[in-house]
Every structure is written in C-alpha cells, then in structure tokens.
Amino acid sequence: MLQVSVLKNNPEWVKERLSVKNFKQLDLVDKIIALDNERKSIQLGFDTAQSGINAISKEIGLLMTTGNVAEATEAKAQVAAFKVQAAEFSEKIVAVEKQLHEAIVQLPNLPAKEVPLGKTPEENVVVREGGQIPNLYEKAQEHWFLLDKYKLANFELGNKITGAGFPVYTGQGAKLQRSLVQYFLDFNVKAGYFEYLPPFMVNEQSAFATGQLPDKEGQMYHVTEDKLYLIPTAEVPVTNVYRDTILKEDELPVKMTAYSPCFRREAGSYGKDVRGLNRVHQFEKVEIIQLVHPEKSYQVLDEMVAHVEALLNSLELPYRILRLCGGDMGFTSAITYDFEVFSAAQKRWLEVSSVSNFENYQTNRMKCRFKDSNNKMVLAHSLNGSSLALPRIVACLLENFQTAEGIILPKALQSYFGAEGIF
C-alpha cells in the first residue's frame, strides 16, 4: 500500500510512475488526495468537539467532588451539544476513511527507476545469461515422456484423486522432490537464512498484508467455511511473521527461508505451454525473504539475485535473468528479476524464480517498522524470491541431463538424491 504522503508530496511523479506500470486510473491519485484532505478537516472538527467534552467532563468531576451539584448539572447540559457534533463528525470520518482505504488499495506499487518501459513479456530485458545449453542425444524426449518412462509422476492418478494440475509424484520422482527441497533449504540456511515451516493456510489479514488481497483474490483457493486461503507461496505466511512488529535497527536484515507447497488456481490455457510440469495447481517451492533497512534494499536485491544465480549454477542449468518491464510486473513489486532456465527438449525458457523488491509497499500494509538511529519509526523494506520452484527445475533436469543410459543428475544433487541419477 502506498503512503498518502508520497502521493501528496509529488502527485505528478506518482502518476508518471504508475503509467510505467501500465496503470490507467490515474485520476485515483487526485481522488485519494482530496479524500485525505477531507478526512483531515473532519478529524479536526471531531477533535475540537471531543476536546470540549473532555474539558467539561473534567470540570464536572471536580465540581462533584466539592459537592457543587447545581453547577455540575449546568455543565452537563453543555456537553450535550458537543456530543451531537462529535457523533456527526465521527460518522463522516468512518465513511471517508472507508472510501480512502478502498481507493488507495487499488494503487499498485510504484516501479523503480531501473524498470524498463513496456507492456508485454517480450519487452522484458535480458540482463545476463549463464550456463551451457546441452546438445541432447538424438532420442531425447520432453520431460512428460520421461516422467512416464521412469515412473516419476502420474498425472492421470492425480486427476482421479483431485483433478487436473495435481500430479502425484511416485518412487524416484517423489524422492527427487524431497532431495531438491532439502538441497535448496540447506543452500539457503548456509547463506544465513533462518528456516521456517509455516502454515499452508492463512487468514484474510495475512493475505491482505502481502498484497494477495484484494488484487489476486481469484488466484487463491479459498476455504470459505473457515475464511482461510491456501497459500500461493510461502512468501505470504513467512513475511507475515513480522506483521505488526517493531524491530530494532540492529535486528535488520531479517533473512528467512521456507519450504511449502504452493496452491494456485491460475485459470489457464491448454496445450503444450501447460503440458507436464510446465504449469500445475499444486507445486513445491522454497522461498527466501528479507526485511531490510530501506537504504540497503537495492544492494540486498542484487545479493538475492546472485544467491539464486549461484544455486542455478550449482545445478548446472542454463539460465537467463530478465528485468521485467513495467507492464509485466506484479502489483506489489517495485522491481522484479525473473529467472528462466532452458528446457532443452522443449526448446523453451521456463520461469523458475522471481526475485523482487517491494520497498515499503508490503511493510506499510503489515506495519513492520523499526526505530532508526534518530529514534524515528521507519518502515522496513521487504524482498523475496524463489530459490527455487520445483516443477520446472525438475522438467529441465530431466530433459537436459537425459542420456541413453538414464538421467545423470548434477553432482551437487547426487548426495542428496542418494544416487548418481535415475535409471
């Protein structure tokens, strides 16, 4: 959530930034400023009336203790007038604040100055590439054939038990999931991230704090009976660890990591793009999250990008890093880097991680603050990234490392998997 003060200080600049994100309702900015001014003047009226009530009530207290009942009764009459005023004002305040909240929640985060212009994924900018695209042997197959060939996952079974997009991992396929999760978590913990295993459902407040509500309501599974949402990412429960929290400056940065299954409704298309593990409703992911001093968030963003990059390098996968253009970025993000790995049999890039700086957009909703050296309350900055989402990593591992003899896993994974590969 943007701060009203930011809009007030420089409305034209805010509008210019919002346009970069391809946001159309620029008149909302002026509407919000007007609503806030209205809110303030009503509040002043209320405060004045309330101040009158308080002052007279205090006098009445004194009169009563000195036994001056006649004057006290007279004073009581004075309060009545103030009370009518105060009630009117407070009714108006509730209405205006509601409007203000509904309006400001519609504004996405402002993109950072480094964010490239553009509206579609084609306009994202490739920042870096790494790794080697392998030359596959002539009988190489797409991963959905390999999953079947080695009995690693069963889509029909998932379809029977639950529905489309809920694969059942089996045998070595299940073990590969487990080894990857373990490997990723160890890698993150070694880099100083503190591990959590969070709840996989969250309440409305948590979903609002990280920005899933009200913007992405339709993308989450909703347990209506208990008003809970299945998490679309561990970002939601783990970032909320620090909701309504006042940190000490020296507690920053807070570095957290968590494994969780992720549930996404993703009203989707059909065909090759979503075949196999390319897009599913439930998948495993390990997430990294940081809460940092505002002055350091961009430095930390680079560190997190480098961290994910190191992880991909250790898996010996070919990858590229994209800086997302304004139109392709998420609602809550100020800048986002996407990581894609090359799926050598499908011959296409698949997104496996997304690393973002949210600046204080989430922390403003969450009220996650710290006291700075001048003893002033300051909103922290929040960042997160996947390290990593499993399905597409699995797809690439299977496709890129396939040989006539079997799938020879990268060295880093072998000890976790307990074998050289899948045969």
Sole binder of RNA in the list 9, 13, 58, 98 (CB under 7 A) = 58
- Residue closer to RNA by CB (options 61, 121) is 61
Q: Which part of the chain contacts RNA (CB under 7 A), choosing from 55-63, 174-182, 402-410, 414-422?
A: 55-63
Per CB under 7 A, does 44 bind RNA?
yes
SS3 content of the chain, % helix, strand, coil (to 5): 50, 20, 30
* DSSP string for 7-45: HHH-HHHHHHHHHHTT---THHHHHHHHHHHHHHHHHHH
Q: Which two tokens stand for residue 124?
A: 């994202």
- Residue closer to RNA by CB (options 325, 379) is 379
Q: How many residues does the chain have?
A: 423
Are 180 and 390 in contact, with CB atoms under 8 Å apart? yes
Per CB under 7 A, does 323 bind RNA?
no
- Type of residue at 226: D
Q: Which two tokens stand for residue 200?
A: 């996989």
Of 233-292, which residues contact RNA (CB under 7 A)? 246
Of 66-125, which residues contact RNA (CB under 7 A)? 76, 79-80, 83
Sole binder of RNA in the list 22, 50, 68, 314 (CB under 7 A) = 50
By rule CB under 7 A, what string of x and - marks binding of each residue 370-409 to RNA?
-x-----x--------------------------------
- Residue 386's H or E segment, with its range, is strand 381-389
Smallest distance, RNA to C-beta of residue 303, A: 28
Strands 194-196 and 254-263, by their bridges, are parallel
DSSP state of 28: H
3-state secondary structure of 378: strand
Per CB under 7 A, does 55 bind RNA?
yes
Size of the site for RNA (CB under 7 A): 27
- Residue closer to RNA by CB (options 105, 419) is 105
Sole binder of RNA in the list 26, 28, 53, 140 (CB under 7 A) = 53
- Residue closer to RNA by CB (options 46, 417) is 46
Bridge partners, 261 (sequence order): 284
Q: How far apart are CA 163 and CA 161, in angstroms?
A: 6
Dihedral sign from CA coordinates of 380, 321, 348, 285: negative
- Residue closer to RNA by CB (options 25, 57) is 57
Per CB under 7 A, does 64 bind RNA?
yes
3-state secondary structure of 409: coil
Q: How far apart are CA 356 and CA 382, in angstroms?
A: 9
DSSP state of 148: H
- Residue closer to RNA by CB (options 80, 267) is 80
Smallest distance, RNA to C-beta of residue 40, A: 5
- Type of residue at 39: R
CB atoms within 10 A of CB 217: 11
Q: Which part of the chain contacts RNA (CB under 7 A), choosing from 58-66, 96-104, 140-148, 330-338?
A: 58-66
Q: Which part of the chain contacts RNA (CB under 7 A), choosing from 40-48, 187-195, 284-292, 340-348?
A: 40-48
Helices marked H in 269-389? 297-314, 361-366
Per CB under 7 A, does 160 bind RNA?
no
Sole binder of RNA in the list 9, 51, 120, 132 (CB under 7 A) = 51
CB atoms within 10 A of CB 152: 24
Residue labelled with tokens 């000490």: 248
Q: Which part of the chain contacts RNA (CB under 7 A), choosing from 9-17, 46-54, 169-177, 298-306?
A: 46-54
DSSP state of 331: S
Smallest distance, RNA to C-beta of residue 72, A: 7
- Residue closer to RNA by CB (options 48, 415) is 48
Q: Which part of the chain contacts RNA (CB under 7 A), choosing from 60-68, 193-201, 217-225, 346-354?
A: 60-68
Q: Which part of the chain contacts RNA (CB under 7 A), choosing from 24-32, 43-51, 344-352, 410-418?
A: 43-51
3-state secondary structure of 227: coil
- The residues binding RNA (CB under 7 A) are 40, 43-44, 46-48, 50-51, 53-58, 60-62, 64-65, 76, 79-80, 83, 246, 369, 371, 377
